[in-house]
Amino acid sequence: MFILEKILNKFCFLIKLHYFWLVKIMVRILFLCWITSLFHFHLFSQKKELSVIDVSKINEKKYLLKDKIGFIEDKTAKLSLNEVISAFDAQNFTLIKDPSQVHFGRTQSAIWFCFKLQNKPFDEIKKWIIKNEHPSLDYIDFYYRDKSGHWKTIHSGDKKLFIERDIKSTRLFAFNLPLYSEQIHTFYMRIKSDGIVMNPMIFYESQDYYVSSTYEEMLFGAYFGIMLMLSMYNLFLYFVLRSKLYLSYVSYMFLSALFSASITGHTFQYLFYNSLFLTENETKYEIYTQIITVCAVTLYLSCCILFVYIQL
């Protein structure tokens, strides 16, 4: 009887211990869910109000439109501009907390964005630009009103020729923001892409934008210049030493630079600016050539090592 009571007590203790362990697990899961929800609301706030941005009070060289941009997900990708305007007027949108981290992943939906600007007191000297820092989007359409109040559209994206872009001096998607008076100006942007949809948006005063863009392009130019110099140097060694290993180095560095240029949007800007077919397929071709080159270099190095080992 004493043994049975002892077994029962131990069994109850194990049940309590197991229950305590389950409670700890549940508390941790709830804590993680809470942290995740906080992170989600940090990026997408549910506050239903679009604030007007007074550009005359902006003193920063680049400005993030925090809590100033709303978005609507169009799952059918068929909504018209008037339908989207009605949805925003009805406050059926979500505010973006951090416009530098806007990421929707892979989606077939069209994403509509809206923001409002005001230039009060009116300053016709200063011009403003909004930039999307993701260089690979299939369709990005920008809507604004002209001086007569009619809606105008600028179509851009990888499915459009580079020479048709609003601002052609940069590899990224950038649009001028026409502000004609002290009235509130409303702008809309529609993004649709078969790949990953990202829309990190930054607001610039025109002069600061071109200075920043020039500095950025100088850094990229230094990188591609170094890659070109290394390629030429190894090509020279190939002609002098007649070793195919250096030729493999040349092909690898050249294709690496070309692949990097396609990712950053420079091939579309400088090489394929008047061709859509090459632009739509350049990344795929360059990935294949990268794989082939890496395999060739690996095979050649393996053969060299094997040859040295046999000689020893």
Q: With b meaning 16 or more CB within 10 Å and e meaning fewer, what string describes 169-183?
A: ebbbbbbbbebeeee
Structure confidence at residue 37 (pLDDT): 41
Helix pair 244-264, 206-241: axis angle to 10 deg: 170
Structure confidence at residue 278 (pLDDT): 57
Structure confidence at residue 112 (pLDDT): 93
Q: How far apart are CA 219 and CA 215, in angstroms?
A: 7
Per-residue pLDDT 10s for the chain (312 aa) are 444 445 445 444 444 444 444 334 444 444 444 444 444 444 444 446 677 888 777 776 666 666 678 889 998 888 999 999 998 888 888 887 776 667 777 888 899 999 898 887 767 667 888 888 777 788 899 999 988 889 999 998 888 887 888 887 778 888 998 888 888 899 999 998 876 777 677 888 888 888 888 888 899 989 999 988 988 998 898 888 887 777 777 877 887 787 788 778 787 777 777 666 655 555 555 566 666 666 666 665 665 666 556 655
Structure confidence at residue 141 (pLDDT): 92
Structure confidence at residue 152 (pLDDT): 93
Q: Which fold has domain 45-212?
A: Immunoglobulin-like (2.60.40)
Cα dihedral 190, 192, 198, 204 in deg (nearest 10): -30
Cβ contact 127:180 at 8 Å: no
Q: Return the number of other C-beta atoms located less than 10 Å from residue 159's C-beta.
A: 16
Residue 218 has φ and ψ, to the nearest 5°, of -65, -40
The residues facing 193 across adjacent strands are none
